[in-house]
Amino acid sequence: MISGQLDAVFLDRDGTLNEKAPEGCYIASPGDLRLLPGVAEAVRRLNDAGALVVIVTNQRGVALGEVTLEEVAGVHDALQEHLSRSGAQVDRFYVCPHDEASCSCRKPAPGLLLQAAADHPFLRLEHTVMIGDSEGDVEAGLAVGARAIKLGPPGTRTRADALFADLPSAVAALVGTDVPPTAGGAGPAAGARPEEGNASPPGHERAARVNPDATNFALDEVAKLMRGLTELGESYYARLMAQVASTIAASLAAGGKALFCGNGGSAADAQHLAAELVGRQNYDRAPAAGIALSVDTSVLTALGNDYSYAEVFARQVRALGREGDVLVGISTSGRSKNVVNALAAGRAGGLTTVAFTGRDPRDMAIADYILAVPADETAKVQELQLVVGHIIFALVERSLFARPAKGSTVDLRLAP
């Protein structure tokens, strides 16, 4: 049914995941919740396939005073608890608490699905599926360009793309296990649009299985990065970045240059930032002088062989650096001997020195400016250092070069 990546599956709740309450009643407490057979395993399979699992549910009982939003949330907590026993989880819940025809979010209106898409910008609605037991679920899915699966007995007339008996059967088809739809064989569901079939196209590859532990690891890594970015947003860091950018811009405007050095990933960052000067970062303009000291293999190997690796950058600083230039040394640990030696050589030669390092600057505290990003793990230090570097050199670019008007000729001279 879906070719390519399955970004998300929207699930109705009552009648899809759990038994419906009797007519006129509402599920108001965890004790009222009874999962349908096989749904926990079905949700886990969607999790493993890497799809976002989103519940979109109408809860009219809130508007009628039969149940509160707090009670709905308690039922959803209980649902998560039931699912977790099978290693499954729902990623987000979206609830319409309104009465009929009083809002844009009550299915068959597509408001809940559109809100989910707005909250998750990576979602491509054409790569999502809506699964539910009512035609209102089907209509909501089709309204946003999703594929729609109706759950019901054979022969049910529906506009859905396919009809299956239950959620486990539908999920089995989605993730690649061949399970015949209840509508009878390989043809479209009764009443379905004639151009749509029930099975995946020939040659369709199964979605890669994703271990939930891997998903949690990825979420943890993003959370750590976000915490670091939040700290970078403090005024102390903003002022420091502005000061460093002003110093570099003044050096370049006076005919100076910026030198960069680092090892491994930091060497790559040194080359990256030098390229932002020689090339451009945000708009076309004149080049500025930036030199990475990690790129000349003949010099590096000669100095490493004839002197020591600890001197490969310091000797280049003495050879190329001039008073008024700027040296940016990059080390995630703050202890890279050759970078520390380069900073010492730069200070002795009258260069302004800038240290990019982690939370503890250690030996790099000798620099004139210390950009100690709020992280300890090497990868997170590198990620935050690149953010800082981009901000600084965007400021340098803004300071030295006017942004050209659209269609105008680029001025290749430094700003006075």
> Among residues of the chain, what percentage have pLDDT more than 70?
88
Q: What's the confidence (pLDDT) of residue 101?
A: 74
Q: What's the confidence (pLDDT) of residue 166?
A: 96
Q: Write phi, then psi, for 310 (nearest 5 degrees).
A: -65, -15
Q: What's the confidence (pLDDT) of residue 247?
A: 97
Q: What's the confidence (pLDDT) of residue 153?
A: 94
Higher pLDDT, 185 or 24: 24
What band does 178 get if pLDDT is binned at 50, 70 and 90?
very low
Close Cβ partners of 205 (under 8 Å, ≥ 6 residues apart): none
What SS3 state is found at 71? helix
What band does 352 get if pLDDT is binned at 50, 70 and 90?
very high
**Domains along the chain?**
8-210 (3.40.50.1000), 225-400 (3.40.50.10490)
> Cα angle vertex 50, ends 49, 52, to 5°?
120
Is residue 179 within 8 A of residue 165, CB to CB? The reply is: no
Q: What's the confidence (pLDDT) of residue 407?
A: 65
Q: Which of 44-53, 203-212, 223-232, 313-322 is modeled with the greatest confidence?
A: 313-322
* Residue-wise burial string across 371-392, b where 16 or more C-beta atoms lie within 10 A, e elsewhere: bbbbbeeeebbbbbbbebbebb
Q: What's the confidence (pLDDT) of residue 211?
A: 58
Mean pLDDT of 277-281: 95
Q: What's the confidence (pLDDT) of residue 412?
A: 54
Q: What's the confidence (pLDDT) of residue 197?
A: 36
What band does 347 get if pLDDT is binned at 50, 70 and 90?
very high
Is residue 33 within 8 A of residue 55, CB to CB? The reply is: no
Place of tokens 């690891």: 217
Is residue 58 within 8 A of residue 137, CB to CB? The reply is: no
Mean pLDDT of 134-154: 96
Rounded mean pLDDT of the chain?
88
pLDDT digits (tens, 9 = 90+) for 94-114: 999 999 877 999 999 999 999
What band does 198 get if pLDDT is binned at 50, 70 and 90?
very low
Q: Which of 144-158, 173-187, 345-359 has the lowest mean pLDDT?
A: 173-187
Q: Which of 34-38, 200-204, 356-360 has the lowest mean pLDDT?
A: 200-204
Q: Which of 110-114, 293-297, 369-373, 403-407 has the lowest mean pLDDT?
A: 403-407
Q: What's the confidence (pLDDT) of residue 257?
A: 98
